[in-house]
Each structure stands twice: as C-alpha cells, then as structure tokens.
C-alpha cells in the first residue's frame, strides 16, 4: 500500500467519529454512553461512530454488522469489550492474524496482521437492528475502505455484512460471477479481484447456541488466508 493510501485510511478513521448523517443514532449512542451499564460505570464511553481497525496493508477485510452498545460504543474499537469480540479475536489469534487472543480497550496492545475489521454501520443501533436508510448513509465509508485497501477477501459476518459488501461491490462495478448466492455460512462470491466469503456472525446468539463453533470460524479464516 502506498503512503497516500495509508494516509487516506487514517483520514477516514478520523472523519468517521465526526459523522452526523444519522442524528437518531448519534442520540442513541450518546444516551447509552451517559446512562452506561452498571458493570462499566467507571468507563468513559466512546459514544459516537466507531472507525475501522487493523492492518492498513491487509488483504483480508472482515465486515461485521455494527458496534455493540456496550462493546465498541464503549471502547471505541471494533469488536472490543464484548463477547462477540472475545470469540472473533481468539479465532484471529489462532489463525496467526492477531498478536493476542483478547481485546478489552483501545490501548491493550492488540495488533492485527493481514486483517482489517470494519462494519456495515458505524454507530450502535437500537436492538442491534439498523434500518436500510442508516446502512445507505454509511455505505460511502465502506466504499472508500474497499477502494483504498483493495482487499482480496471480504469475510462477511452475517447477512447484513454480506448484503452490505454486495451493494458496495455492485456500486464499484466489479465483475460479479453468476449466479449470485444468498448469504449462508461458507458461501463464496467472486467479484473481480475480490472474493466474498460468508460466515455466521460472531454474536452470542450464534456462538452460545453452537450455530457457529470455533472450528467453523477457523475454517472460514483458513479459506480467507488461502485466497488472500
């Protein structure tokens, strides 16, 4: 990656927390940060849009849904400070893509190699359910990240991540293979130089029920590494 591209990602990371495209989400994130959760009463919540995190030279992009209200909305870093992040970063560490298996805060020493983590929506949405309009407002950030980073693989966590990647790729007019599969765990879609891979989201709904196991995400990451 060129120095200019690296600077572009840095500028984007500084711009995202200032975004006010969805005032209702800014209000919600600020309210969560004000009221807090009892377990995090001593935390100074981030409480605003969360930028992406990872290696600026990454060839694997991991695309999640949105920050968790008391996870990334609290810590200010993607998948940091919640059970979803515990599962994801442990898997990245097993795959040799993270220097440690846990993520608790922005200054915990975590570094990623070859991986860049972003989300379809940058603000925590109520009930973890973004609206189509909110996702559309956030799409420009994802478009810029894909254009700048030029990933070879986008590992899409859940259907919302899959559809967000698909819409971004269609906007960028990449050559899509046909037919275009709907989201499923293990689904693959080639779009020019990029391959989308589907993976069940790392939410507790999936990891606590066994719908997504460690071996399943390990295989998805191994496939992403092979393609990258």
Nearest to 121 by CA among 79, 73, 81, 64: 64
Mean pLDDT score of the chain: 95
**Residue 4 reports pLDDT greater than 70:** no
Per-residue model confidence (pLDDT) at position 64: 98
pLDDT in tens, 145-186: 999 999 999 999 999 999 999 999 999 988 777 777 899 999
pLDDT in tens, 196-206: 999 999 999 99
Compute the chain's Rg from CA coordinates: 16
- Neighbour count for residue 99 (Cβ, 10 Å): 12
Per-residue model confidence (pLDDT) at position 181: 80
**Residue 7 reports pLDDT greater than 80:** no
Per-residue model confidence (pLDDT) at position 178: 72
Per-residue model confidence (pLDDT) at position 206: 98
Residue with tokens 């507790």: 204
Record the tokens describing residue 2, joined without a space.
């060129």
CA atoms of 71 and 84, how far apart (whole Å): 9
Per-residue model confidence (pLDDT) at position 69: 98
pLDDT in tens, 82-104: 999 999 999 999 999 999 999 99
- Neighbour count for residue 176 (Cβ, 10 Å): 16
**Residue 74 reports pLDDT greater than 60:** yes
Task: Identify the CATH number of the domain defined by range 3-227.
Answer: 3.40.470.10
DSSP state of 76: S
Per-residue model confidence (pLDDT) at position 139: 97
pTM summary value: 0.95
């Amino acid at each position: 990656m060129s120095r200019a591209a690296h600077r572009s990602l840095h500028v984007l990371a500084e711009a995202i927390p200032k975004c006010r495209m969805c005032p209702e989400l800014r209000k919600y994130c600020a309210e969560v940060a004000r009221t807090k959760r009892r377990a995090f009463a001593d935390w100074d919540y981030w409480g605003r849009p969360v930028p992406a995190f990872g290696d600026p030279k990454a060839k694997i992009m991991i695309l999640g849904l949105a920050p968790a209200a008391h996870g990334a909305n609290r810590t200010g870093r993607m998948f940091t400070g919640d059970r979803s992040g515990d599962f994801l970063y442990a898997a990245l560490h097993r795959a040799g893509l993270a220097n440690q298996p846990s993520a608790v805060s922005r200054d915990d020493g975590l570094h990623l190699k070859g991986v860049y983590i972003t989300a379809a929506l940058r603000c925590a949405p109520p009930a973890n359910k973004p609206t189509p309009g909110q996702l559309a407002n956030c799409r420009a950030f994802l478009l810029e990240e894909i254009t700048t980073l030029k990933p070879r693989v986008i590992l899409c966590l859940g259907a919302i991540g899959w559809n967000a990647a698909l819409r971004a790729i269609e906007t960028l007019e990449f050559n899509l293979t046909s037919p275009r599969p709907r989201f499923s765990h293990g689904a693959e879609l080639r779009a020019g130089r990029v391959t989308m891979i589907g993976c069940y989201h790392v939410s507790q709904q999936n990891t606590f029920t066994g719908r997504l196991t460690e071996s399943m995400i390990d295989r998805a990451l191994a496939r992403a590494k092979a393609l990258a």
